[in-house]
Structure 1
Amino acid sequence: MARVFTLDDLRRILREGSGETGELDGDIEHIEFEALGYESLALLETTGRIKREFGVALDDDAVVAATTPGALVALVNDQLLAA
């Protein structure tokens, strides 16, 4: 069975990378990262953590296009399924 990347996985990784605990609770799937307080540098750290933990190397352009947590989760899962 293939491993699945969840919104809760993303929440945990974002919190570990930033040390912040707020603004990630509730339904954040369709809220833009910028509105959540996460800029490109934080997302680069996040993609590095995803690569280390899940073995998924994400294309920088694809990550930039994934402007919401839901889009990033879908991108990671697409890569996991392709592997």
Structure 2
Amino acid sequence: MTAKAFTLDELKTILLEAAGVAEGVDLDGDILDTEFDVLGYESLALLETGSVIEREYGISLDEEAIGDARTPRAFIEVVNAQLAPAAA
């Protein structure tokens, strides 16, 4: 059975749930390669987002990898790297 890939839309939903959105930030724009600090998200917000993902998807995310993920694209890659082995 193939695991469903974690998507930008899922990340945006969880970011909103876990940390809200900064005033003046449009998460519906082209944000895939925009750094989180530009989007108004600091490391604590990303760790909370990671915790929500861990609970909802039943995976364990490395805090250092989450901290190193500077953009939504990098964050999604960290999540998908953990989802892939779960499907094997």
Do these two structures clear the TM 0.5 threshold for a shared fold by scoring above it? yes
The 5 A counterparts of 1:35-46 are: 35-46=38-49
Paired position in structure 1 for 2:8:
7
Structure 1 unaligned residues grouped into runs of 5+:
none
- Give 1:10's aligned amino acid: L
Question: TM-score if structure 2 supplies the norm length?
Answer: 0.86
Aligned match for 1:75, one of 69, 75, 78:
78
- The C-alpha deviation readout for 1:15-67, integer Å capped at 9, x for no partner, is 11123384311111100101100001101110000001111211111111111
% identical equivalent positions:
53
Which one of 36, 49, 53 corresponds to residue 33 of structure 1? 36
CA RMSD of aligned residues (A): 1.4
> What is the identity, as a one-letter code, of the residue corresponding to 1:27?
D
Pick the structure with greater CA Rg.
2
Alpha-carbon distance between aligned partners in 2 of 1:62 and 1:44, rounded to the nearest angstrom: 10
Distance between the aligned counterparts of 1:8 and 1:17, measured in 2? Answer: 14
Give TM-score scaled by structure 1 length: 0.91
What does residue 62 of structure 1 align with? 65
1:3 is displaced (CA, Å) by: 2.0
